[in-house]
Amino acid sequence: MKDHYSELKIVHFSRNFGQQQALLAGIKAANGEVLATLDVDLQQPPALIPSMVRLYEKGYQVVHAIPEYHQSATWFKKLTSKAYYKFIQALGPDQVVYKSNDFRLFSHPVAEVVRSLPEQSLYLRGIFAWLCPLNQRLKDDEYNDPDTWAATTLKYRHQSRQHGQTKYSIPRMVALAFDGMTAISIQPLRFGLFLGMGSIALAMALIIWALYMHLIVGQTVSGWTSIMIVILFFSSIQFLLMGLMGEYLGKVFLQVRGRPGYITSDGMKHGNETKLAPKAGAKKPRPNNRSPGSNTRKKEGRDPLEIYDDIDDKGWANLVDVVDQASYLDFSYRYEDHLRKCFYNKANARQYVFDTLSVGGINLHRGSLKGSTPEWFWGEINANELLKDNPDHPKVQALGIDENSNPVIFKIKPLE
């Protein structure tokens, strides 16, 4: 199968670990800019992915595809899922997200956080709802500021099953449902506390009634009043204490779950610093790219052209491949037409400003929406032109050192 599809990667589990774990393994194995998860049974149409990507381009970090059920779903399934989602809604803040059946698209910073979460009992719907709340204020065509992570939804027609039987048996569905209920919040534990308070109130009322019957009416069997009072008092105290214990257990659960205290827009988790210190230089995807003019390269005496692993026939390489560790915003010349189109389309509503700067073999494009802060940069670099004058291209090399003291060939700063 791999021969047919060059872009295919397969991860084999040694035994059955469940769908949620499989999703996580897939997320860990992926290295795309955008990630999409879906089932192989084609009930979730892959053709929807491009329109989800359009929403990502509008600045949404997570796009949930919400199924609209066909007639073919059985009434039982419809009823149970409806009841379940009603219940889930009562527990947590972000409702619609739980209707998502793990068909979603998300950006790489979100994926980076998901990869590093220490949770054992996985319920990805809950995790995504927690990471990225729905933004309901924005209209469809509005641009979302990507620094504020927001999710959006997209409805699709859930296809009827084409092959085989559903692999989710009823016990498995129930297991997932329970995982969902217990993983997203500690509300079920808090139930004990409410029960305790309610039972205390009830017990007080009953005690007063029993005393009234005993003292005023005087028609009680001897011993009844005292037994009533003892039973009511202690049972309600027990409920209350159980509720309190539940409250502490909930706190322990939240602590053990180990979710970070906060997450910054670039996908860095915090509140767990030891684990999350950026591993400077620990794993560089393309170490050759990083310091093309540095001493190590010169010692090795390799062809400087080697660093541009993505050169086209005219000698234009994507800045992405040339610049590593710089805070650039990448979009290659390959996408330029697309970008121009999508920005110019918006120009009716808001004016889009677009210009190109060419300096010695480097093309830098800048774009922004008038009246909005974000600026986009992307660019390309002409390797041949740079190398023509000087094979060591000192121009580019001279541009400095970044915060982690890695040599930077080309660094673009955001405009103030």
H or E segment at 261? none
Told to check if 414 binds other proteins by CB under 8 A, we report: yes
Segment 22 to 41, residues that bind other proteins, using CB under 8 A: 22-23, 25-27, 29-41
Beta strands in 83-130 (DSSP E): 104-107
Token reading at 305? 């052209």
Told to check if 374 binds other proteins by CB under 8 A, we report: yes
362-369 sheet: strands from edge to edge:
316-318, 375-382, 362-369, 352-359
Nearer to other proteins, 203 or 263 (CB): 263
Told to check if 404 binds other proteins by CB under 8 A, we report: yes
The number of C-alpha atoms within 13 Å of 284 and in the hemisphere containing its C-beta is 13
C-alpha distance from residue 17 to each of 21, 121, 173 (Å): 6, 11, 15
Question: Whole-number minimum distance, CB 17 to other proteins, in Å?
Answer: 6
10, 216, 217, 221: which one binds other proteins (CB under 8 A): 10
Token reading at 391? 């094979």
Segment 57 to 86, residues that bind other proteins, using CB under 8 A: 57, 59
Question: Whole-number minimum distance, CB 71 to other proteins, in Å?
Answer: 21
How far apart CA 308 and CA 321 sit, in angstroms, is 6
Question: Whole-number minimum distance, CB 108 to other proteins, in Å?
Answer: 4
Segment 197 to 236, residues that bind other proteins, using CB under 8 A: none
Segment 111 to 170, residues that bind other proteins, using CB under 8 A: 111-112, 146-147, 162-164, 167
Told to check if 11 binds other proteins by CB under 8 A, we report: yes
User: In this structure, how many other beta carbons lie within 10 angstroms of the beta carbon of residue 24?
Assistant: 20
Question: Whole-number minimum distance, CB 18 to other proteins, in Å?
Answer: 6
325, 365, 381, 396: which one binds other proteins (CB under 8 A): 325
Told to check if 49 binds other proteins by CB under 8 A, we report: yes
Question: Whole-number minimum distance, CB 64 to other proteins, in Å?
Answer: 15
Token reading at 36? 């999409």
Segment 342 to 371, residues that bind other proteins, using CB under 8 A: none
The number of C-alpha atoms within 13 Å of 142 and in the hemisphere containing its C-beta is 10
Token reading at 8? 């295919």
Segment 259 to 288, residues that bind other proteins, using CB under 8 A: 265-268, 278, 283, 285
Question: Whole-number minimum distance, CB 121 to other proteins, in Å?
Answer: 8
Which candidate, 363, 343, 338, places its Cα nearest to that of 354? 343
User: Which range binds other proteins by CB under 8 A, 202-210, 287-295, 329-337, 391-399?
Assistant: 329-337
Question: Whole-number minimum distance, CB 79 to other proteins, in Å?
Answer: 25
How far from chain centre, in Å, is Cα 232? 49
C-alpha distance from residue 385 to each of 77, 315, 316 (Å): 63, 8, 9
User: Which range binds other proteins by CB under 8 A, 68-76, 80-88, 109-117, 240-248?
Assistant: 109-117
Concatenated DSSP letters for 366-383? EEEETTS--EEEEEEEEH
Told to check if 337 binds other proteins by CB under 8 A, we report: yes
Number of residues that bind other proteins (CB under 8 A): 86
Concatenated DSSP letters for 134-172? B--SS-TTPPP-TTS--EEEEEEEPPPP-SS--S--HHH
Residue 26 near residue 141 (C-beta atoms within 8 A): no
Question: Whole-number minimum distance, CB 396 to other proteins, in Å?
Answer: 18
Under DSSP, is residue 364 helix (H, G, I), strand (E, B) or coil? strand
Question: Whole-number minimum distance, CB 179 to other proteins, in Å?
Answer: 10
User: Which range binds other proteins by CB under 8 A, 50-58, 214-222, 252-260, 346-354?
Assistant: 50-58
Told to check if 15 binds other proteins by CB under 8 A, we report: yes
